[in-house]
Amino acid sequence: KNQVEQSPQSLIILEGKNCTLQCNYTVSPFSNLRWYKQDTGRGPVSLTIMTFSENTKSNGRYTATLDADTKQSSLHITASQLSDSASYICVVSRDTGFQKLVFGTGTRLLVSP
């Protein structure tokens, strides 16, 4: 079954601290993996995208890693800011000729002052 699981479900950290979010997937055939940030009441915004051959991708304070062998990805946020408070969604794209996205349930991050 094609699934994307994320952990933790929710996380509270102090402003300025780092954190790492995890994503495990069983999606096949794999095309690419994206991390999205979704602010409350808003649509998802893409942070990073990685294909099978890429094992790390950075976007400012966000760094994503991908281990295609173990089917795991992580999103590391450094020097967190209050504006980082949001849901972070891991999305894996299936390569079936018609790209279909499989969404994780998300990690709700709260950055506390």
Partner 1 sequence: GAVVSQHPSWVICKSGTSVKIECRSLDFQATTMFWYRQFPKQSLMLMATSNEGSKATYEQGVEKDKFLINHASLTLSTLTVTSAHPEDSSFYICSARGTSGPVGTQYFGPGTRLLVL
Residues at the site binding partner 1, with contacts judged by CB under 8 A: 31-32, 36, 41-46, 49, 51, 89, 93, 95, 99, 101, 103-106, 108
Q: 43 or 113, CB closer to partner 1?
A: 43
Kindly state the tokens that stand for 87.
Answer: 């849901």
> Nearest distance from residue 73's CB to partner 1, in Å?
16
3-state secondary structure of 11: strand
Cα(36)–Cα(34) distance, integer angstroms: 6
Residue pair 6/72 in contact (Cβ under 8 Å)? The answer is no
> Nearest distance from residue 95's CB to partner 1, in Å?
8
Q: 42 or 61, CB closer to partner 1?
A: 42
Residue pair 50/72 in contact (Cβ under 8 Å)? The answer is no
> Nearest distance from residue 84's CB to partner 1, in Å?
18
